[in-house]
Chain A
Amino acid sequence: MDFEDSPEEAKFRAEARAWLDANAKLKTARDNSDPLGEDDKTSLKAAKAWQAKKAEKGYARITWPKEVGGLGGTPMQSVIFGQEEAKYDVANTGAFAIGLGMCIPTLMAYGSKESIARYVKPALRGDEIWCQLFSEPAGGSDVAALRTRAEKDGDDWVINGSKVWTTGAQFSDYGLLLARTDPTVPKHKGLTMFYLSMKQPGVEVRPIKQASGASGFNEIFFTNVRIPDSQRLGEVGQGWQAALTTLMHERLAVGGGTGGALDVPQLVQLARELELEDGPAIKNAAVREKIADWYVRSAGLKYTTYRTMTALSRGQQPGPEASIAKIVVASKLQDLSAFAMELEGEVGALTGEDGVENGAFQMGWLGSPGLRIAGGTDEILRNIIAERVLGLPQDIRVDKDVPFNKAPTGK
């Protein structure tokens, strides 16, 4: 048992570091102005430039085959590059994550040779950005209940409806669209997958202002948007199978992070600085108990990630333990931030320049409800653990075998 690289891994790490040294500067001590990364001020231009540079070397998507611009590397090499890249002051390329992590793999699985040749490389270089158009006002956790219609008209499809919670749609060039092509069959059987240009007539993108004040998500409205049948991915009515491909790629993404820049060390720092009724906060027994509780959760996640990486390093499929991360991180962030505000007392209500550390904990607390929802709610994630990891029965689904247009909808 150790935390060392294998000789091959060490070699790859050295190569990655040498390349990063030649192309970027190391980060300075504490440079975490945006703990949640939800209000990224980094210009898209800088992100595109950095992405293009990585793409030239194959680092933009290490596990993809060389033919499509990847490095033909292993998942472990991808993790190693990510660890090293995180030490450098480079543009945040998060804007490409959904496209490259979910949309393009679906295109590669279901698209024609021509579409793969046309779209993969520009996405890899960051020249074109993709978003994922699944969630709807009527289909969040129950995404297969979506209502956006795609109706055949000659060789085209005509799209009408709306999507919501779409990350990055405001700067996206293309979108991966899941739409209903047959409302007379049960919900999972009437869906079809498409892709479309976000810049064409009839597509309207409106940012959603979140409770935290930031705007990372959008609503999209489609009004008689025409797309050719060649932009269909997979068979008509097989959209749910294609969506599962997309979501499977989401689950394969191995995160090295354990909750961003706001965690136990920041709370310890705060507790060292503040005075409570009975003396320094760090000496208060209740404060110490809380710190320890959150520390063991953070540490437990960190070492769970190490277990996952060990499986990758051995060329094995990671175990299901990686599925616990978001449940733990999101509620910890919410509880830890609220507790930090308690320690700050009445001043805990202040944000911005008047807030402690520019209101870092306040921003964490304001953003945490979103983290508990996005990418699967806490409740859906518990269902996933219960059903896929523990093998418990699925929920009884009263709409499962009912034609979609006859299923109960509330209103």
Chain B
Amino acid sequence: MNFDFSDDQKMLKDQAHKFLSERCTPKTVRGVYESGSTYDRALWKQIAELGWAGTAIPEQYGGLGLGYLELCVIAEELGRALAPVPFSSTVYQFAEALLVSGSEEQKQRLLPKVAACEIMGTLARAEGPGAILPKNIRTSFKNGKLNGKKTAVIDGMDADYAVVLTRGSDDAGERGLQLALVDLKQPGVKRRAQQSIDPSRAHAELTFENANAEALGKQGEAWSDLNRVLDRAAILMAFEQVGGADVCLQMAKGYAMERYAFGRPIASFQAIKHKLADMYVGNELARSNAYYGAWALSTGARELPLAAAAARISATQAFDFAAKENTQTHGGVGFTWEFDCHFYYKRSRELGLALGPQRVWKDKLVSQLELSNAA
């Protein structure tokens, strides 16, 4: 039994932790909140120098080719630091979409630039509120031209490229879907910044009017390709969520030990102790599920879709709970702009929605259970 990260991977995690705890404090997040910028440009530049974006990108495409376990430990630290950079969009979503669906030429052309952080990318799926259903996708991609509108696109103001879920034929169902790769710096693309619950994760509406685009992957496989990308991204994102949840527990503990009420630290009241114990339980379950996801991702195991759904649900639940109860433990000050609790409260919910809500992942999980039971 060897269900843990290796010493080398732990060392990488320590290095990432050390770098981010110096370079990305809550003040960094506050800086993005208050400056109105979409991300921390200097931090992104430093992350580029560290080569983190290329961690799991194979060497043949300009990456470090270390692997997904290494990317998972970095993700946990980015999550812990609430790093306000377009890492998850570019690395977990865009690069993975290229790896899953891209042609050899597309991978050769774009992945080295991703690995060097020379370009940013994102994934554009939603067209409105509610479920994202194949039959409702109206953005069209025909004869190399893209038309339509996508909303709530993460890092959409800054991304150089987007992978867009489109309808590529008249077939109204899943088989008519096509992923399109589009350069966002062209006149046919209009971007509008959207306000979101988490100002350190910038969202945008993208409007395409006869924008030039190219097919990514085969028509008819877009929906299953997209789900494969989301599974991979969910596992990596789960590590960010686990990192964030861990910080919430530490913050709540730190405050509860210092804050006195009724003549004693509030950490000595069972109402607080049991709340923190519940946070610990949720965080450990989420960590263990995320580890299993990491194993499935790094080995390309058959269990990957089930592992991804479990990691996603568990991590979303843990971060949601830890973030809201951290705020609660802080009492009134936890609700002030001045304290940092709200950064985590907002980030936890934003990450919980970013790759689709729990409802969708729970349905996926049970579908996987049905499949495995039938076998």
Contacts and interface: CB of A to CB of B under 8 A. Distances in A.
Interface string A320-349: 010010011000000000000000000000
Interface string B244-283: 0000010001001100000011011010111011101100
Nearest to B311: A296
Contacts of B272: 392
Contacts of A299: 288-289, 292, 310, 314
Contacts of B309: 292
Size bracket, chain A contacts? 35 or more
B246 to A, nearest CB: 12
Nearest to B272: A392
A390 B85 CA distance: 31
A304 to B, nearest CB: 4
A1 B4 contact: yes
Given A1-B291, A282-B366, A382 B273 contact: yes
A188 B81 CA distance: 45
Contact of A324 (B5, B253, B273, B281): B281
A3 B276 contact: no
B370 A385 contact: no
Interface in B100-136: none
B280 A296 contact: no
Given A282-B366, A307-B4, A392 B256 contact: yes
Interface stretch (A240-248, A283-291, A399-407): A283-291
B317 interface: yes
B35 interface: no
A141 B69 CA distance: 43
A293 B220 CA distance: 32
B3 interface: yes
Contact of B369 (A268, A285, A382, A385): A268
A387 interface: yes
A383 B273 contact: yes
Interface in A270-298: 272, 282, 285, 288-289, 291-293, 295-297
Contacts of A296: 285, 289, 310, 313-314, 317, 365
Contact of B285 (A3, A291, A304): A304
A252 interface: no
A395 B270 contact: yes
B264 A396 contact: yes
Nearest to B359: A289
Nearest to A267: B369
Contact of B2 (A268, A310, A385, A392): A310
A291 B363 CA distance: 9
A2 interface: yes
A309 B286 CA distance: 18
Contact of B270 (A300, A310, A383): A383
A77 to B, nearest CB: 12
Contacts of A304: 284-285, 288
A1 B295 contact: yes
A395 B268 contact: yes
Interface size class of B (residues with CB under 8 A): 35 or more
B369 A295 contact: yes
A390 B277 contact: yes
A306 B276 contact: no
Contacts of B1: 3-5, 9, 76, 306, 309-310, 312-313
A347 B5 CA distance: 49
Given A292-B313, A295-B369, A299-B310, A389 B2 contact: no
A307 B291 contact: yes
B295 A2 contact: yes
Contact of A3 (B2, B358, B361): B2
A328 B318 CA distance: 14
Contacts of B4: 1, 307, 310-311
Contact of B281 (A269, A307, A385): A385
Contacts of B270: 379, 382-383, 395
Contacts of B256: 392
Contacts of A312: 1
Interface string B74-106: 000000000000000000000000000000000
Contacts of B69: 1
B2 A313 contact: yes
A185 B313 CA distance: 52
Nearest to B317: A296
B75 to A, nearest CB: 15
Interface in A163-216: none
Contacts of A350: none
Contacts of A76: 1
Nearest to B285: A300
B2 A1 contact: yes
A390 B253 contact: yes
Contacts of A291: 362, 365-366, 369
A319 B340 CA distance: 30
A282 B370 CA distance: 9
B267 A392 contact: yes
B289 A300 contact: yes
A323 B85 CA distance: 36
A304 B314 CA distance: 13
A1 B3 contact: yes
A28 interface: no
A303 interface: yes
A238 B256 CA distance: 34
Interface string B26-52: 000000000000000000000000000
B284 to A, nearest CB: 5
Contacts of B265: 393
B204 interface: no
B274 A307 contact: no
A381 to B, nearest CB: 8
B2 A379 contact: no
B366 A300 contact: no
A197 to B, nearest CB: 40
A307 B2 CA distance: 8
A324 B285 contact: yes
Contact of B280 (A2, A302, A385): A385
Given A1-B291, A303-B289, A394 B268 contact: yes
Contacts of A381: 277
Contacts of A309: 1, 3
12 contacts: A1-B295, A1-B298, A4-B2, A291-B362, A299-B288, A304-B285, A309-B1, A321-B284, A386-B273, A387-B273, A392-B253, A393-B264
Given A303-B292, A310-B3, 13 more contacts: A1-B3, A3-B295, A5-B1, A272-B370, A304-B288, A307-B3, A313-B1, A385-B277, A386-B277, A389-B280, A390-B249, A390-B277, A392-B272
Kindly list the 3 A-B residue pairs having the minimum CB-CB distance in the complex, ordered from nearest: A300-B285, A292-B362, A386-B273
Interface of B: 1-6, 69, 249, 253, 256-257, 264-265, 267-268, 270, 272-274, 276-278, 280-281, 284-289, 291-292, 294-295, 298-299, 309-310, 313-314, 317, 358-359, 361-363, 365-366, 369-370, 373
